[in-house]
Amino acid sequence: MLAPQGRTEHREPAITRQNVTHATPKPIDADEPWMRGLHADTGYLLYRLGLRSGQLFNACLQESGLRLRHYAVLRFLATSDGALQRELSARLGYDPSAIVGLVDDLEKQGLAERRPAPDDRRSRIVVLTGSGRDFLRDTDEAGQRVTNELLGPLDPAERETLHGLLLRMAKDRLN
């Protein structure tokens, strides 16, 4: 920032080593708004629960050699007649280079395959195979177990309300 006479104004950082003394520090006031606990932060709770959900689901998928990201690709493909890799990237929010690796893994296991796009033979679409559909059917129960574990403290009406609220939040923010 320039001072009125063209000189640069120097600001001291909030914390400097030269200001450190060995006196007893002033106690932190727990009532300060910035001191609220992590569990008072809704965003942090959503983040932590999302991590936990992913950990639990990945543990269920571990035997198959797949992870939640693979499952998400398969689940998306189950709702379509196929998708370009760039569409998968955009819709799932994954980096395009990650999609290539995920689809490669799914092809190796016979769960998805790349085919020429019907409207442009130079493009390739990714489609779910019969084995991919079977895999999804088999993992539905595992997914339900994970959901039940996470939502265990909630009664059915609370679960429905939570789901509706999350859908409303996701509607414009995840597309």
Of residues 122 and 38, the one with the higher pLDDT is 122
The predicted structure's pLDDT at residue 171: 87
Answer whether residue 9 shows pLDDT above 60: no
Answer whether residue 5 shows pLDDT above 60: no
Q: Order of strands across the sheet with 112-117?
A: 83-84, 120-128, 112-117
The DSSP call for residue 22 is S
State the chain's mean pLDDT as an integer: 84
The predicted structure's pLDDT at residue 17: 52
Q: What is the pTM of this model?
A: 0.71
pLDDT in tens, 12-43: 555 555 555 556 667 666 666 666 676 678 88
The predicted structure's pLDDT at residue 14: 53
The predicted structure's pLDDT at residue 43: 87
The predicted structure's pLDDT at residue 12: 56
**Least trusted range by pLDDT, from 102-106, 120-124, 143-147:** 120-124
The predicted structure's pLDDT at residue 122: 83
Answer whether residue 152 shows pLDDT above 60: yes
User: What are the residue ranges of helices labelled H in 62-118?
Assistant: 68-77, 85-92, 96-108
Residues 6+ apart with CB under 8 A from 74: 106, 111, 112, 128, 132, 135, 136
Contact 73, 115 (CB under 8 A): no
The predicted structure's pLDDT at residue 10: 58
pLDDT band (50, 70, 90) for residue 83: very high
The predicted structure's pLDDT at residue 135: 95
Answer whether residue 6 shows pLDDT above 80: no
